[in-house]
Amino acid sequence: MEPKITIKEIAKLAGVSVSTVSRVLNESPSVSDKKRAIVKKVIDDYNFQPSMVARSMISNKTHTIAVLLTDITNPYFTAQIEQIERYGREQGYSLLMFNTMTAGHSNSDNPAADEIKVFETIIEKQVDGVIILGGEIDREKVDQDYLKALNQLNDQVPVVIIGQPNPDCSCLFIERDEAMGARLITTHLLASGYHRIGFIGGEPGIKITTQRLTAFKQTMSIYAEVSNSDIELSDFYIQDGYSSMTTMLKTKPLPDAIVAINDRVGQGAIRALADQHLRVPEDIAIGSCDAFPDAEWMVPRMTTINQHNEVLARIAVQQLLHLINNEQLDSVQTHLPELIIRESCGAKLRHQQTEKSDNT
C-alpha cells in the first residue's frame, strides 16, 4: 500500500504554495483556472483524500451537522432525518446524530438534564451547526436550566429548531402550522356528516398537543359541542392510540368519528376497535392530524394531513448553512398542510352509498 501524500507534498509537486492547495480543496474562487487544474491533476494522480481533521484545519470547519432527536424509532423523526442527511450530503456535510431516548414510554426521569449533557458533547465534537427535532423545547413550560444551556449552545454554534417558537430562546425556529392541520381534518369529518367527534393521543403539556387540540375544539364549537369524555390524551405512539381508544370504548355511545393526533395513534385506535369487533370506517371513522410514511399501507388506509415535513427538513438545512456561512437568511414560505382523503374517514364509502341510493 502506497503511503498517503500530504498537502505540503501536493504543493511542492504542483509548484504552488500550501495555501493555494488549501483554497483549491475548499473550492475558493480566488485561484486561477491554470493553477487549479495543476493542483487537481496532482490530487487525482495520487488519489488524495483529505481527512476531516485536515479540512477543519484548513477552513476552521468540520463540515458536520449535529442532529438532536428524542426517539429514532418515531417515524416523524426518521422521515426528517432522511431528508436532512440527503440535503446535507448534497452540500458536502455529514451528520452526527444524537438520540437522547427521552421521548415515549422509556423516557428518563429528567429529560432536560439528559439533553443538556448532549449539548456539552456537541460542543466537544466541534460541529458547524445543530438541528434540533423535538425534546424539551416542545414543552409548554420549558425547563429554565435547559433554556439557558440551549442559548449558550447557540452562542457557540448556530442552532436551528424544527418546532414551535419560544420567546425566551435565541435559536432560529422552522415552524409548522399545527392549528391548520387539525382544522382541516376536523372540518373534513364534519363535512362528511359526522357530528360527534372525539380526539385521541398527544402528551399533555406539549405544544403540538395543545395547538392541535385547541384548533379541534374551536372548529367543533362552530358546528357541534365537544364532550370531555370524547377527549383522551396520552402520547404519540401506537400503544397510546390503543389505550386511548380502549378507554373511550367504555363510554357509551361512542363518537361517530375520531381525530387522532398522528397516524400511529390512529393505527393503534383501529387495532383497539378491531379487538372489539368494530370496523373502521363502517362503525366509526378516523382521521389523523399528521401523516407518516406508511399510512397508505394501513388497513384501512389512513385519511390524514400531510404536513410536508420533508420540506421543513430541507428548509432547516438551508437556513442552518446560511447561518454557518454568515449569509443572509432566506424568507421562509410556510408550506401549508394538505388533506389526503383515503379510506378510514368513510367519505368514499358514504359517497358510494349515496350513489347507490340515488340509483334505486
Q: Residue 17 pLDDT > 90, yes or no?
A: no
Please give the grid coordinates belonging to residue 254: 361512542
Handedness of CA 127, 133, 134, 140 (dihedral sign): positive
Who has greater pLDDT, 19 or 319? Answer: 319
The pTM assigned to this predicted structure is 0.80
Bridge partners, 231 (sequence order): 199
In the chain, the percentage of residues whose pLDDT exceeds 90 is 62
Span 91-112, average pLDDT = 82
Give me the chain's average pLDDT, please.
Answer: 88
Please give the grid coordinates belonging to residue 64: 458536520
The contacts of residue 156 (CB under 8 Å, 6+ apart) are 123
Peptide bond into 281 cis (omega under 30): yes
Secondary structure of the chain: what % helix, strand, coil (to 5)? 50, 15, 40
Give me the pLDDT at residue 296, please: 86
- pLDDT category at 73 given cuts 50, 70, 90 is confident
User: Counting every residue, how long is the chain?
Assistant: 360
Give me the pLDDT at residue 357, please: 54
Give me the pLDDT at residue 1, please: 39
Distance CA 95, CA 88 (A): 8
Who has greater pLDDT, 3 or 145? Answer: 145
Q: Residue 158 pLDDT > 60, yes or no?
A: yes
Question: Domains of the chain (ranges plus CATH)?
Answer: 7-59 (1.10.260.40), 64-175+309-335 (3.40.50.2300), 178-303+341-358 (3.40.50.2300)
Query: With b meaning 16 or more CB within 10 Å and e meaning fewer, what string describes 176-202?
Result: bbbbbbbbbbbebbbebebeebbbbbb
